[in-house]
Amino acid sequence: MSSSPTFEIFLVAIPGLEAALTDEAKACGFQGAKQVPGGVRFDGGWPEVWRANLQLRGASRVLARIGSFHAAHLAQLDKRARAFPWRTILRRDVAVSVETTCKKSKIYHSGAATQRIATAINEELGATISDDADVVIKARIENDLLTLSIDTSGGLLHKRGSKQATAKAPLRETMAALFLRQCGYTGHEPVLDPMCGSGTFIIEAAEIALGLAPGRNRRFAFEHLATFDAKAWEKMKSENLFIPPGEGTS
């Protein structure tokens, strides 16, 4: 794990809560965490991707920026997408979905760009392309620079995997956790919720007080990647399931 390559990791934040998520990332030991539009960025490797999904209460998704290249027209995009080392990250036996956005670029048709990238993955790697795949490649073309990211979380991270039922219009767990952080909650203070619906604030506060990792009960998209090491992941989970109260809230 120590030889894992490094790349940019992007934490998707709830709009308006980027600063609170930055504070949480720093408190959890993600060095170099910096607030940027839409979220938080820092450099790390796959172990940091796994730990971010496991430990961070406020992130909506964890994206791994796996590469970028210049693409000024579709033929160039097709050629460079085919040359990209997909097999070092993706598995041939796992279906993939591709989503593309274009901004201020000569390539302006996102559907055509998606088709080129998807065809390259299918023909060069052999992976099936499916709209409902567990692994999602996100391509952003801006100023003729194409950046490739993988959504390593899968489902949104507010889905902790432990709540059996919810009330109408429930507050997302990620939002509740960051609101608690903004209030200065460290896991040692009493919490009262007079408007308790499905108990999101109380449950998040209790888990923080108990030091429970929010991602302990769910699966993640990164488990379907070629970069995944099941033994290393199980070891990481066993070592990080308990977070002492206050450690991730300083």
The pLDDT of residue 200 is above 80: yes
The pLDDT of residue 192 is above 60: yes
Mean pLDDT of 138-158: 98
Burial 6-36 (b: 16+ CB within 10 A, else e): ebebbbbbbeebbebbbbbbbbbebeebebe
Range of the domain at 78: 65-151
In a shared domain, residues 170 and 235: yes
In a shared domain, residues 144 and 168: no
In a shared domain, residues 176 and 131: no
Q: Is residue 24 part of a domain?
A: yes
**Of the residues 151, 172, 188, the one at which a domain ends:** 151
In a shared domain, residues 78 and 133: yes
In a shared domain, residues 43 and 69: no
The pLDDT of residue 242 is above 90: no
In a shared domain, residues 71 and 115: yes
Q: Is residue 247 part of a domain?
A: no
Asked if residues 42 and 189 have their Cβ atoms less than 8 Å apart, the reply is no
Total domains present in the chain: 2
Q: Is residue 93 part of a domain?
A: yes
The rounded distance, in Å, linking the Cα atoms of 3 and 34 is: 24
pLDDT tens-digit readout, 111-121: 999 999 999 99
The predicted model scores a pTM of 0.93
**Of the residues 102, 135, 151, the one at which a domain ends:** 151
Give the distance, in angstroms, between the CA of residue 44 and the centroid of all CA atoms in the same chain: 13
The pLDDT of residue 202 is above 60: yes
